[in-house]
Amino acid sequence: MSDNTNNLLLGLFLKYDFWESNHLLIGDQYFQDESKRIYSIISEAHSKYKRDLTINEVEALLMAKYPLLTSAQKSLYINLLRDIKPVIGSDVAEEVIKASFREHVGETIAQLGMNLIEGNETDLSKVKELVEKYEGGFIPEKELEVLSNEFEDILEYANDKLPWKFNLAGLNRLIPGIGPGNFGIMFALVESGKSAFNISICFGPDGFAEQGARVLYVANEEPAEATRFRAVMSNTGFSEERLLQNKHAARDMWRRIKDNVLFHETTEIRQLEALVKKYKPDIVVVDQMDKLNINGSFARDDLKLSEIYRHGREIAKKNQCSVIAVTQADVSADGRTSLRFTQMSGSKIGKPAEADYVLGLGKESTENGSDNFLRYLTVSKNKIGGKHGRCIITIQPEVSRYRD
């Protein structure tokens, strides 16, 4: 393997997630001499610390493990470390891994073939193993492990899979909670109270943040600063005027959850993935999911939306968090109190197909056009609790709160 490829791979392996996914496929057998020793230091550190590493940290660990290195050897390692290239994107990294694996397979088979021609003792089982890995599509061994069948492990999953509860009793009777890997969709017409609903379940009394969940709220519908201010009102129950008049009391109340609160604005799905990996939230709300941009060419808008929602589900699964996608209802929802997943804007079937559950927030039309503050939550898809149905809730728009 070339020095450039060595340096590139070592740079990739500084990221814990990358090492965790690929070290069983690309191991120390791919490196030689000083690079092999550096890789072993990186691998040992990841096993112990389970986080990303810096070049300086690897250098310090190397010097601590090998204190008897000569000045010339130390200089060689330091130069090698400083030549390690920055980590590249995960999509490019996948191609680098595949190319490196192909190179390793080719070189190994060629060497074994020469040994066989020259009459040297040759273990042909290595060829079979490499060919099977190659034909298997470069799949790391870890990804082929099956789930435990131990009874205790099965019960542990049942107990821990839905740690976060909705702070609305009627909704909880339909969906008993959400947890790692869940992907849900909440939709409603414009001016029905979508953002207020999500702010309320996240930051209102007994919401996810008060339950101890770390909540990342991605706002691309309105400025994140405005959503953050509404979150404080929802948590405290203070209107804007009362909040400004009672800053000390509001600050004391907000202090209970502020360390569990994260706000950001982005319209890029790759940036969303990076945010989730960096901050490791328990719950992610994307308001609104349809406004995220994604690379690629799509013949129709519904195909693009399907891919965005598929990525949202993958983010939930890969990062063991619960993602709630917020989106619009189409015109057929106007004046309706029961909204089914087929009434999502731009939906067809691709968006709801990715979801574990779908919540439709309906609002009835009144004779005089005024708001009666009643909202109707319909669960039209539910792979979590198995129940479908509707519950009636009340909105308090001045403080972005909902209650039964």
How much is the average pLDDT of 225-253? 95
How much is the average pLDDT of 198-219? 97
Across 237-373, the runs of DSSP E, i.e. the strands, are 261-264, 283-287, 322-328, 357-362
How much is the average pLDDT of 152-157? 69
* Res. 125: pLDDT tops 70: no
Greatest mean pLDDT among 48-52, 123-127, 148-152, 280-284 lies in 280-284
Closest-CA residue to 322 (of 176, 163, 92): 163
Tokens of 36: 């092999």
Q: ∠ at Cα 374 (369, 379), nearest 5°?
A: 120
How much is the average pLDDT of 324-352? 91
Question: Rounded mean pLDDT of the chain?
Answer: 86
Greatest mean pLDDT among 33-42, 84-93, 234-243 lies in 234-243
pLDDT digits 0-9 by tens, 284-310: 999 999 999 998 888 888 899 999 999
The residue ranking higher by pLDDT, 241 or 101, is: 241
* Res. 175: pLDDT tops 90: yes
Q: What is the CATH number of domain 158-403?
A: 3.40.50.300
Q: How many CB atoms lie under 10 A from the CB of residue 379?
A: 23
* Res. 128: pLDDT tops 90: no
pLDDT at 326: 97
* Res. 55: pLDDT tops 90: no
Specify the amino acid at residue 345. Answer: S
* Res. 140: pLDDT tops 60: no
Weakest mean pLDDT among 13-22, 155-164, 195-204, 266-275: 155-164
pLDDT at 157: 63
109: left (phi over 0), alpha (psi -120 to 50) or beta: alpha
Confidence band of 1 (pLDDT split at 50, 70, 90): very low
Contact 218, 288 (CB under 8 A): no
How much is the average pLDDT of 90-104? 67
Give CA–CA dist 54/243, Å, rounded: 44
pTM: 0.67
How much is the average pLDDT of 96-108? 72
Tokens of 346: 């731009």
Weakest mean pLDDT among 43-52, 187-196, 314-323, 394-403: 43-52
Cα 376 to Cα 171, 192, 389, distances in angstroms? 10, 10, 10
Across 274-364, the runs of DSSP E, i.e. the strands, are 283-287, 322-328, 357-362
Closest-CA residue to 193 (of 341, 371, 388, 389): 371
Contact 178, 162 (CB under 8 A): yes
pLDDT at 20: 78
Give CA–CA dist 77/273, Å, rounded: 34
Give CA–CA dist 45/64, Å, rounded: 12
* Res. 163: pLDDT tops 90: yes
Q: Which residue has the tokens 């205790």?
A: 152
Contact 211, 165 (CB under 8 A): yes
**Distance in angstroms between the alpha carbons of the first and the last residue of the chain:** 64
- String of b and e for 270-284 (b: at least 16 CB within 10 Å)? bebbebbbeeebbbb
Weakest mean pLDDT among 18-22, 187-191, 272-276, 277-281: 18-22
Specify the amino acid at residue 300. Answer: R
* Res. 133: pLDDT tops 60: no
Tokens of 236: 């405290």
